[in-house]
Structure 1
């Protein structure tokens, strides 16, 4: 059994999610101690429990010690059964992070699956649905499987209530090289809001416009039905031939609209100033499918602690190393060895 100290490296929930996914793919059981030991509130949160329960359901697995707040679990995988599943986080916990746990084994299963996930779709502690749909899944689909995701309803923190639907047609993962973004195709800046004053979205776009040298026509406000709020997110999108980068800023109490926009715009400017294929969040998401493919490469900005921790967990299960090396341009080249 693989033993993992959940307080090492990034010390968050990603360790749990990646371990469950890799266990279901490889058939190797694991035990995690000190779960989320690097967090202010250690132990499993509701969304982590949902992710593990989902992994147990579709993988006919057993998990000892599973409970909100638990600091140690033992996970024993079974055989993955592709079919239709529905899971509810029950709070604004991220549906995207639950999907991150169950997608790899279902992409490699022996039949198609349909997944319905209910909970948070736009959560400040996780990539929003738009990122999963337009940044992450197009790369995965180039590797062999076909995954389509649809947003049925937005779910913001703290209310939740969102819904995403995912269709998965499995296939072996093939290595690909993602070294060039290709030509620039489009830009978009969209401020979404629900059950909040219209001026919040206007102020976000005004602040972003001052920092980004983008055409006036690409800035837009979108009001969602009040029952899907309260909530607010600023989405900045840069589309290229081979990749789309999406940077988000979430409105929250005590943070001005201008601060939300400036933080997001600065991150987007940093990405555009480099020649890296993947931004930091996309790099985190790509490590697992690239490692499961047994090869391939992509360039990214400086790897995050998230990415380095994921690489360590991957090596424990697969015996493959995700190596980051800085190249002449300043970007970092990730290769699987």
Structure 2
């Protein structure tokens, strides 16, 4: 049994980390940090945890020593706090965007300010078992990818691994309101969000840099906020290289994900759920990926879906912890999702 602490535990991602760890057979949640609710019960902001834990929030100053530290803090915050928190645990798993990119100049361009701990960037391994399983084994610094970036990367990787597509990719992402966090402000009020299809980050979305870094493509990304609370669906529009057939594309997906415990290939010709749909993935650590070709054309749609708080965040973090510790990857992550919802 290892001891874990979660910093930023009152937010949506932090709460999801708590939910998964409280059900994990080899982890004890020893501390949950919140600057907003110190001394208050965890099941206040996270009512789904009623009867599951009597834990109360503490402050950063009350932290002691742990085996693993999860940082569910806002973007641009982790790089400031990590130098003083890193000594508290052998393993640090960061769920913010601060250590996802390897290049400090790329970070500055996409996040709008210089990185405050550039000397630490090379210490972090991607918290992405499907791409970095060998690196994660024994890793002490882990950076979990962004939710829409993770979905796009999993959709594109079979195609880029085998050189099946041209490098220019349009990434069209749709996301539920929980992706904006628990303190998102006026734009996320029900009166403003309900019924809206809000296009945001119409150029220079920060996930472009993650997709380019992982897949070696030239992505142009837009994201749209939709009515849902949870869930991400990503449609990547690209072109096959000359002479590539549908059969080769299907075979590439099957080969790439044949042994992956949490990626399923969904590309059927009929049925209600013939392409990836986030609704049936809610609460699960699965990412469904699929594709569709336009007839008599080299135009390809690569599609993926996941729960932004689980496979797009907390679930990837716990899966990465399982890999790092040499445990079965499914440990604590067996929930399959619900249908109907």
Task: Normalising by structure 1, report the TM-score.
Answer: 0.30
Bigger relative contact order, structure 1 or 2, given CA contacts below 8 A and separation 6+?
2
Give the TM-score taking structure 2 as reference length: 0.30
- Whose strand fraction is larger, Structure 1's or Structure 2's? 1
